[in-house]
Structure 1
Amino acid sequence: MTQRLTLPIAMLLACAVFFVNAAADTLDIRKMPTALPGTDFTFPKYDEFTLPNGLHVYVVENHDVPTITFSLAIKGGDAYDPMGKEGTAAIMGDMMQKGTKNRTAAQTAEALDGVGASISMQTFGESSAINGSALKKHAALLFTILGEQLTEPVFDGGEFEKLQKQYLASVANQRSNAAELAQALSRKVVYGMTNPLARRQTEGSVKAVERDDIEEFFKQWIRPNNASIAVVGDVTMKEVKEMLNKYLKNWKKGELPAVNMPDISTEKAGVYFVPRKGSVQSSIIVCAAAPSVKDPQWLSLDLAAGYFGSGFGSILFETLRETYSYTYSPFAAVTGGGRYNRFISGSEVRSSVTDSALRVILSELRKLGTEGPDETKLARRKAFEIGQYRMSFERASNVASYLQNAWVTGKPLDMVKNYIPQFEALDYGDVVDVARKYLDMFKLRIIVVGSPDVRSKLEEFGPIYEYTLDLEPVGGTGYEEVDMTAKQIVDAYVTSIGGAQAVGAVKTVKMTGTAGLEMQGRNMTGKATRKLMVGNKEWADIDLQMIKQTQWTDGTQAWVTMQGGPAGNLSKEETERLVADAMIFPATALTSSDYKASVLGKKNGQIYVDAKNKFGRNETYVFNAETMLLDRIEKEEESPQGPIVTVEKLENYTAVAGVKFPTKVTQTSAILTMVFTWDVKVNEGVTDADFAAPAASGK
């Protein structure tokens, strides 16, 4: 018997040696194996029909295992909560699982657990989903309980009180989750502060929800003519029709409320900051508005997001993680809603590198639109995405997910079925186009949740809008009251820089020095000169080698030259702005008839004065509460892309002729950052001829 066993083994060994030797004659082990030829992809078969009660149905057969799963999608979610009662939909979804007329919550759980089945519900922005699974032999129980929950939930008052307490605890936990706060604030900033898709649960809103609100929401939205069910598993279309008609026969269609969702209304450019004491790291997000998933360009933006920050090999992994070691897991993505969406990119980083990490993200986004993606890396990303998509069809439930998502968002099924050829057709140009259209410097908004200490690091990125942990803006109540009028503040400022007599003696100022420009990831340095004379006269020249510009005004007209070329007149609007800004001490204008100024109050050791000039431009003047020196000026300028806020930071005050002047000035906007260092001369080196019209001056 032993000999019988050893003979086949010997023969196998001999065969193995033969094949190894044969392979060695043809195989070059020094060469990397090539990929196998690609195979054609066909979207899996499914059936689709609608029941008499209006319920839309998908059936995806999979007879490999004797199981059945369903996903019931309903058009009605958190965004449809009554205003001020955010949490209604979510609590309703949980309450549906807490007992029906035929079973208590415990009896439902016991029945399902006893056969290894499950039913659960989740709510999202504009939809809700009920998911269930069981062995096929227990399908009757599964759909019986589903039918009961859809037609006769009791919404028990005791269960409601328990759930309300749980939701209040959840809200408290959310306030301690920096990443969740950053995402929630990004929704508010991109969609609009009061947009239903941006609203979130608060302690007050959860407490305001009553049992009657739960029942009313259920009656309004949980209707078969507002739902789609996908049934997947060891079933046929005939069996599914019979089960649904039998077990959901009492679920009746009804009139649905009108949905009035507002258009997207992105907040103004700047940094939206939530100070969180005790934080040792910052959650940062750079975000922008994105198109509907139905828009053909959404797919290009999805590819751009994946290339930029999704997983190993992405730009943010190579920079933030590998090059600089700022973080472990950066991200980028575009959401997939049917109306409008968000592009989001960011990470959690150490507090000390908050500003550095933001610079990297902004720089790389600018490069994506100006220099474009690396084509080899882009091709690799496309291959990865297509491979993941094809692999996802190994699970029949994913087929149903794609179909259900299209139903909820209104995405045409052709876009779902033809995903692969559409994605394969995307190229370098498509990524550059969407980067320029959706991710340029005018469109980006910055969200930071972190230690109060990082606030000063954020000033270079634009005006800072501060929010509480409940994501409420820190408005007037965030300021300490100041017992000073705007005139008294301006008088104190004049005293701080040298006094009224010394300031009044200043008739001209000449500033010469260096200039630095940072724009779209590029840095330039050069020289700058600025001359000012009372009467709103100014002459300013900047020479950055690649960029040279001179502009001036005589107090009435204004001109500009570029790259040493001929002078041209500025437009009426540009002239008005230049004349208004041509002041030696701009804060002193706050008390003139050209301005309407009001004191906001004191915050973080600074006094804020809100102002609007005669042309309607909004401005904010920020004074140091201790020294009364002017720390910065914020001005809201109109542009073709919408309002742009410019922040002018004033530092390193130095006395010249008895008056203090800032010798370092940093101007920051969503477009660029410029830094000037000045040497200041008073009442010398400036004449009326410097401001003359081009023909008279020879400029």
Structure 2
Amino acid sequence: MAVGVNAQIDRSVMPQPGPAPKITLEVPDEFELKNGIKVLVVENHKLPRVSYTLTIDNKPITEGKKAGVSSLLSAMLGNGTTTISKDEFNDEIDFLGASLFFGAQSAYASSLTKYSDRIVELMADAAMNPLLTKEEFEKEKEKLLESLKSEAKSVDAIAGRVGGALSYGKKHPRGEFTTEETVNNVEFGDVLAFYEKYFNPNNAYIVVVGDVNSRDVKKQLSKYFGKWEKAASVDVTIPEPTPNAQYTQINFVDMPNAVQSNISLTNNVDLKMNDEDYHSVLIANKILGGGFNSYLNMNLREEHGYTYGARSNVGTSRWNASRFTAGASVRNAVTDSAVVETLKEINRIKTEPVETDALTNAKAKYVGDFVLALERPQTIANYALNIKLNDLPKDFYSTYLEKINAVTKEDVQRVANKYFKTENARVIVVGKGSEVLENLEKTGIPIKYYDTYAEPTEKPVFSKPIPEGVTAQSVIKGYIAAVGGEDNLKKVNTVLMNADVTIPGAPYKPTAVMKQMAPNKSSMELMIEGMGTVMKQNFDGENGYQEGQGQKIPMGETEVNSRKEEKGLYPELYIDASTITLESVATIEGKDVYKISVANSDGPADVRYYDVETGFLVRTEETSEAGGQSIVTVTDFSNYKEVNGVLMPNTMKVTTGPQSFEFNMTDIKINEGVTEEDFK
């Protein structure tokens, strides 16, 4: 006989959460080498692998006029020793199937257990006797300078730089930043001095995790790291961070190339992991902006479609300097609205009790993540190290879930008011001022202006008077004359361009081959050494496609029709005067440019910018629709050089949303090297 129990359950009432799981953490073995290095060992015999993590626990360091010296040291370490060349060193690590990485004050190695003795020997040798050469220094310095050049037009990179500088101050370790000037100030001897001063065992920890025996590890580390000599103690004074803003204010940075605005509301907080508020702050932040279902993301992304994701974060620090941040990257047209909605959601969690479901779900997420993390042996070691570094009670992690589950609605509201200081916040906005500033002013929030290096500046001027007699047609004619004249341009039937490609943040540097044939055929092939062709675009005059990652996607009807309308490789030769309008004299990279809009029959107008002084085309902006959103592609042109009587841009940067590609031409050929077969 079946017995029904459904009637005994009231499904309209959410069940009470059960007690927090009992957490019993494995205690790592601990010992100290004679030179003071503290060692934590977590034995785990599931797989025949082992890892070694070296952490040098120095206070945050200010590098000042030589900011970048630690980055250079980090890049140079782990590339050989005084007795093993760079190639031999790296070849042996590859042969062992091992990994070995160094930072300016850290190192990490992993290998099969049977090779552990050798990998520790290599790690210790590279730490104590690194191969630091002038030649390698110059190579890494050049790489760092190239990286900084790539970041110069990155909205996100500028937002991070300015945010840190305004929050902490430029003389604070977390507020200073690396520039081309500071890198050029660094000499080889500075790197050697930094290594001697800061890369030593004085405050070092080594965490060992894997298929090892603690007694064997002690012998092993004593043998290889025990002879590492201590250095003189360094007394580091950390300056106080900049006080929070006296009132809510927008700190605006104009980036004329921006196709999105980066918004970051921020204020400094003094929060340590051993503070009583710590667990309550975690839950409050999770509800506000710590996940997909958070207040910020549900508003800015799901309700309004301003962004692909909105988040918040609260940092902790032993050194009395961390930040609360909240924000997103949003479309230019909704920058002001996104600022208003961000403030609205933060004030909501400060003034309204959170819903029971939101609190329960936030706790459940932390419980799930915590329990899942415990399955990784490295977690046990990290927790043990955190307890030591942050002066935490020994039961900090065993009582972690208990304290998470004890957080109340009142706790959330209390810490939100204490740490989310909207009344003293800087709303740092980095974006295209000519498109966003007018509406930002309408919010009524006071605005202060800064340049890309966090220096105060005047409100930018976006439009200057158009000189008398200058028209859209005269600007176009000026461009044609500047790059070679109408007769020479009409002789250009094909163009072949080879280029080195820089993609910010990518671990590789592709090359590209671009081909064009009048009136409208084009192809581009992107290649990576060792991988071959990774992306190809092609248009044969009638149809086109994009191919990559094993997929071949036909061009959409709108793009095909647009390309079919092209009448030649230089659209200025064939442009309809009735479709162009001289909008204004704007500024790009400190230079005056004529802004000309070009009407399209099937979509938003394109925009073209011509240098007032040289006449050269320096930028185009093209708008397309995808997924119900407008996508702006910005292409910057520079470094014009003569090829067969025609001046061609040798640097081209294409930016779409957060992604950018910079093409630096290595070779350009006109009317040779291109055939009809290239577009089939």
Q: Normalization by structure 1: what TM-score?
A: 0.61
d(CA) in 1 for partners of 2:198, 2:392: 21
CA apart distance, 1:154: 2.8
Which of 293, 297, 308 is equivalent to 2:288? 308
Task: State the partner residue of 2:674.
Answer: none
Tell me: CA distance 1:217–1:183, structure 2 relative to 1, closer, same or farther (3 Å): same
Partner of 2:71: 90
Indicate the RMSD between aligned Cα atoms, in angstroms: 2.8
Contact kept in structure 1, 2:350 and 2:416, CA below 8 Å: yes
Question: How many percent identity over aligned positions?
Answer: 29
Residue in structure 2 matched with residue 687 of structure 1 by the alignment: none
Give 1:267 deviation, angstroms: 4.8
CA distance in 2, matches of 1:120, 1:66: 20
- Distance in 2, matches of 1:291 and 1:430, equals 17
Aligned residue number for residue 401 of structure 2: 420
Name the amino acid aligned to 1:64: K
- Asked whether the 8 Å contact 2:20–2:405 carries over to 1, the reply is no
Shift of 1:153: 1.1
Distance 1:407 1:185, change over 3 A: farther
- 1:22-421 alignment runs, 5 A limit: 39-76=21-58, 79-122=60-103, 128-268=105-245, 269=247, 270-293=249-272, 294-339=274-319, 340-421=321-402
Give the Å deviation of 1:335.
1.8
Change (3 A) 1:209 1:27: farther
Task: Tell me, in whole angstroms, the C-alpha distance in 1 between the residues paired with 2:459 and 2:35.
Answer: 53
Structure 1: distance between partners of 2:444 and 2:73: 42
> How far is 1:142 from its partner?
0.9
For the Cα contact (< 8 Å) 1:189–1:266, is it kept in 2? no
Deviations 1:255-279 (A, max 9, x none): 2210100122235342122211121
Residues 407 and 174 from structure 1, CA distance in 2 versus in 1: closer, same or farther, beyond 3 angstroms?
A: farther
Note the residue ranges of structure 1 that are not aligned, 5 or more in a row: 1-21, 481-602, 605-699
Q: In structure 2, do the counterparts of structure 1 residues 169 and 267 end up closer, same or farther at CA, with 3 Å as the change threshold?
A: farther
Report SS of the residue matched to 1:166: helix
- The number of residue pairs the alignment matches comes to 454
Q: After superposition, give the CA deviation of every residue in 1:63-116 in whole Å (9 maximum; x if it has no partner).
A: 111110011111248x41431111111211221122211112211111111111
SS at 2:47 equivalent: coil
Query: Which residue identity is paired with 1:336?
Result: T
Of 335-344 and 204-213, deviating more is 335-344
Rate the CA distance shift 1:179–1:370 in 2: closer, same or farther, 3 A: same
Q: Identify the structure with the greater helix proportion.
A: 1
CA distance in 1, matches of 2:427, 2:196: 40
Confirm or deny: 8 A CA contact 1:366 1:440 kept in the other structure.
no
1:187 & 1:414 partners in 2: Cα distance? 34
Q: 2:440 aligns with which of 438, 455, 458?
A: 458
> What residue identity is the alignment partner of 1:73?
T
1:190 alignment partner AA: S
Contact 2:451–2:457 (Cα < 8 Å) also in 1? no
| CA distance, structure 2, for counterparts of residue 413 and residue 62 of structure 1 | 22
- Segment of structure 1 superposing worse, 249-258 or 132-141: 249-258
Native 8 Å contact 2:23 2:398 kept in 1: no
Instruction: Evaluate the alpha carbon distance shift between residue 418 and residue 223 of structure 1 in structure 2; reply closer, same or farther with a 3 A threshold.
Output: farther
Structure 1 residues 217, 410: closer, same or farther in 2, change over 3 A?
A: farther
Aligned residue for 2:87, secondary structure, equals helix
Q: Alpha carbons of 1:466 and 1:407: their partners in 2 closer, same or farther (altered >3 Å)?
A: farther
**1:618-654 CA distance string (max 9 Å, x none):** xxxxxxxxxxxxxxxxxxxxxxxxxxxxxxxxxxxxx
Mapped contact 1:338–1:410 kept (Cα < 8 A): no
Paired residue secondary structure (1:84): helix
CA displacement, residues 462-513 of structure 1 (integer Å, 9 cap, x when unaligned): 33232223x2314489899xxxxxxxxxxxxxxxxxxxxxxxxxxxxxxxxx
How far the C-alpha of 1:38 sits from its partner, in A, is 6.5
* Residues 91, 477 of structure 1: alpha-carbon distance in 2 compared, 3 angstrom cutoff: farther
Would you say the 8 A contact 2:171–2:239 is kept in 1?
Answer: no
Tell me if structure 2 keeps the 8 A contact 1:333–1:344. Answer: yes
User: In 2, Cα distance between the equivalents of 1:174 and 1:103?
Assistant: 35
Residues 1:305 and 1:130: Cα distance change in structure 2 (over 3 Å): same
Kept in 2: contact 1:272–1:467 (CA 8 A):
yes
Q: SS in structure 2 opposite 1:473?
A: coil
Alpha-carbon separation, structure 1, partners of 2:430 and 2:460: 18
Is the Cα contact below 8 Å between 2:162 and 2:454 reproduced in 1? Answer: no
Give me the whole-angstrom Cα distance separating, in 1, the residues matched to 2:64 and 2:456.
21
Query: What letter is aligned with 2:191?
Result: I
Equivalent residue of 1:261, what SS? coil
Report deviation, 1:39: 4.1
Amino acid at match of 1:291: D
Work out the CA distance in 2 between the residues paired with 1:423 and 1:37.
11
Structure 2: where are the runs of 5+ without partners? Answer: 463-585, 588-680
- Residues 116/250 of structure 1: CA separation in 2 closer, same or farther (3 Å cut): same
Contact kept? 1:89, 1:214, Cα under 8 Å: yes
| Counterpart residue identity of residue 412, structure 2 | V
Q: Post-superposition shift, 1:47?
A: 1.5
Shift of 1:428: 1.1
Equivalents in 1 of 2:211, 2:444: separation in Å? 57
* Separation in 2, partners of 1:276, 1:410: 43
Query: Residue 48 of structure 1 contacts residue 59 of structure 1 at CA under 8 Å; is this kept in 2?
Result: yes
The DSSP-based 3-state class of the residue aligned with 1:442 is: helix
Q: Is the 8 A contact 2:267 2:421 kept in 1?
A: no
| SS of corresponding position for 1:196 | coil
> For 2:66 and 2:191, how far apart are their aligned partners in 1?
10
Note the C-alpha offset of 1:381. Answer: 0.3
1:461 CA drift (Å): 5.0
Change (3 A) 1:338 1:173: farther
